[in-house]
Copies of this chain bind each other. A is one copy, B any other.
Amino acid sequence: MEPIRRIAVSTGGGDAPGLNAVIRAVAIAAFRHGWECIGIRDGYNGLFLPEQYPQGGLIALTPDRVRGITHLGGTILGTTNRGNPMKFPTPQPDGSLAEVDRTDELLGRFREHHIDALISIGGDGSLTIANHFAQKGLRVIGVPKTIDNDLAGTVITFGFDTAVSFATECVDRLHSTAESHGRVMVVEVMGRYAGWIALNTGVSSSSDVILLPEIPYQMEPVLATLRARAAAGKRYAIVIVAEGAKPAGGGHAVIEKRLGAAERLGGAGERVAKDIAEALGQETRHVVLGHLLRGGSPTTFDRLISLRFGAAAVRALAEGQSGIMVALDPPTVRYVPLADATSRMKTVPLDCDTIRTARELGICLGD
């Protein structure tokens, strides 16, 4: 195998606290190997659509360029949510747009720019693309990124601790207001398919109910929990709802019928709040934390694992690896085939320790 002289870094998917720390670690570790390190702006657009970047779509990630960015939210590589090169929206002769696989073209650009290897930081989608590149011969290492912690192959990924920490801080704030005003507060957090954020936030913040995508919920046990609290003189409650939580069977049938199909039912949290208010006649409010959980400065925990992931990705390249993702199996980092990491989603196992803890602490899981 030819020696590496220049590597590129790309970030894909949504924002996650820790991205800049990964980038910094990659840049410095590469520099210490004597490799050049290049950042691609806006997913692959900086490489793919250079005409859109008068000042250049590639950034030289020198040690000076990545100085002091470990604790900054966002990413110095720009917008992460960009076109998938395997299904790139491409104008056709008839003026329409078609989704075209343009990965070969992109691989050509890598060669043109003498990029010997790629470190791709992203979730399921970005790592599938990365794996595609690896199969076509580019040396590729993946770094797992998902706020939702739903990526297989790694016990945890960066950004998740920050999201859970901030969600817990928000619930802390709602606690006193819920109590002072005698209200039920329904808090909707991210998690379309996996309930990790809802579960960890709910347990950490001593919430009363946690509804997850993994457990289709019944309203009866939820209402019973709230009634029992009221009977014990506690006039308030906190209910955590993952955005992907769904009622079991036809739980909302009555309400849905009454409202009519035309009316927007709102998110999972709004729906649960309406059901509770209607059933109990108690003042109920809902809060959506979604947009607040992606950004911000990473927690120390996330900083550290981000730096470790970045260093490990460079180490893997130096060891001749390709087509793998670096993963955390505490206390160590290990390598997982990209194909394994992207073939399934890591949902919350119903018998896991945190679920058991939630039940043992008397938290209702809607079942």
Contacts and interface: CB of A to CB of B under 8 A. Distances in A.
B295 A176 contact: yes
Interface of A: 14-15, 17, 24-25, 28-29, 32, 68, 70-75, 78-81, 155-156, 161, 164-166, 168-170, 172-182, 185, 200, 203-206, 235, 285, 287-288, 291-292, 294-297, 299-301, 303-304, 307-308, 311-312, 314-315, 330-333, 352-354, 356-357, 360-362
B291 A177 contact: yes
A300 B168 contact: yes
B296 A79 contact: no
B352 A332 contact: yes
A286 to B, nearest CB: 9
7 contacts: A68-B206, A79-B179, A164-B304, A169-B300, A174-B295, A177-B291, A203-B307
A181 B330 contact: no
B352 A291 contact: no
Q: Which 7 A-B pairs have the closest CB atoms?
A: A74-B176, A73-B176, A173-B296, A15-B180, A177-B295, A173-B295, A165-B300
B353 A74 contact: no
Nearest to A161: B301
A74 B357 contact: no
A181 to B, nearest CB: 5
A200 B303 CA distance: 10
Contacts of A164: 300-301, 304
A105 to B, nearest CB: 24
A75 B182 CA distance: 12
A179 B235 CA distance: 33
Contacts of A78: 179-180
Contacts of A172: 71, 73, 295-297
A356 B175 contact: no
B295 A291 contact: no
